[in-house]
Amino acid sequence: MKNVFKLLAVCFLMFSCASNNLSKNTVREGDFLVKNGVFADKKWEENLTFKRLSWYHELTLQFDFLMAQMTPQSSFNYWFSATEQQDIQKCSDFRVVLAYSLDTKLIPYSILNEQLELAGFKKVELIHFKRHLMVHPDSELNSLRLYQVYGICRADKELKPLIFNFPGFTEKSVN
């Protein structure tokens, strides 16, 4: 009887070690807030909420993707230049993106760009918006200077989900 328990214990340890090895790469979901803002003589108390997907190897952040849909009523629209606002108005579906890769040889931005294109999005430069975001206190606190900042635009309001599939990680879908 003791031998059976020893055998079960050894099997349990082997399976738990094997499953731990498979779970070293994880994807976490959450929200990220930019709180309040300023533009010229305007101040507002409002949050810009980003949906966040973070890819980890053990405890190390490998890739981070943040995406916010901008409503026309948002005071954060003051951060866009007139040219950026013209580009945004051509979009049926517009979002602001922040993306970070720890090692672009392991998870290159090109994989993200391909997946954005497959979902029908085109990149839009947001130089003016990025300047305002980078001097915001939340930016310094969260090291956002390490992130690429741009917009993504779909001309049609497609229902194609945005699917992220990075090598070695489980697939995630975002609407």
Q: What's the pLDDT tens digit per position in 158-173?
A: 778 899 999 999 999 9
Tell whether 147 is covered by a domain.
yes
pLDDT at residue 15, rounded to an integer = 45
Question: Would you say residue 108 lies in a domain?
Answer: yes
Residue 4 lies in a domain: no
Longest dimension (CA), the chain: 80
Domain membership of residue 16 (yes or no) is no
Residues 7-29 have pLDDT tens digits of 445 444 444 444 445 579 999 99
Assign 6 a pLDDT band (cuts: 50, 70, 90).
low
In a domain, 83, yes or no: yes
In a domain, 96, yes or no: yes
Q: Specify the pTM.
A: 0.84
Model pLDDT for residues 103-138, shown as the tens digit of each residue: 999 999 999 999 999 999 999 999 999 999 999 999
Q: Are strands 172-174 and 162-164 parallel, antiparallel or unpaired?
A: antiparallel
Query: What is the model's pLDDT at position 2?
Result: 58
Tell me whether residue 9 is in a domain: no
* Segments forming the whole domain that contains residue 122: 25-174
Q: Quick check: 56 pLDDT over 70?
A: yes
- Provide the domain count of the chain: 1
Question: Is 20 within the bounds of a domain?
Answer: no
Better pLDDT: 32 or 72: 32
What is the DSSP annotation of 94-137?
A: EEEEEEEES-TTTS-HHHHHHHHHHTT-EEE--HHHHHHHHHSH
Tokens 């026309």: give the residue.
72
Residues 144 and 138: their CA atoms lie apart, in Å, by 8
Average pLDDT over residues 22-40: 91
pLDDT of residue 100: 98
**72 has a pLDDT exceeding 90:** no
Which of 4-8, 86-90, 136-140, 149-153 has the highest mean predicted lDDT (pLDDT)? 149-153
**CA–CA dist 66, 83 (Å, integer):** 23
Q: Higher-confidence residue: 9 or 75?
A: 75
pLDDT at 99 over 90: yes
Q: What is the pLDDT of residue 39?
A: 94
Find, among 41, 43, 34, the residue nearest to 70 by Cα: 34
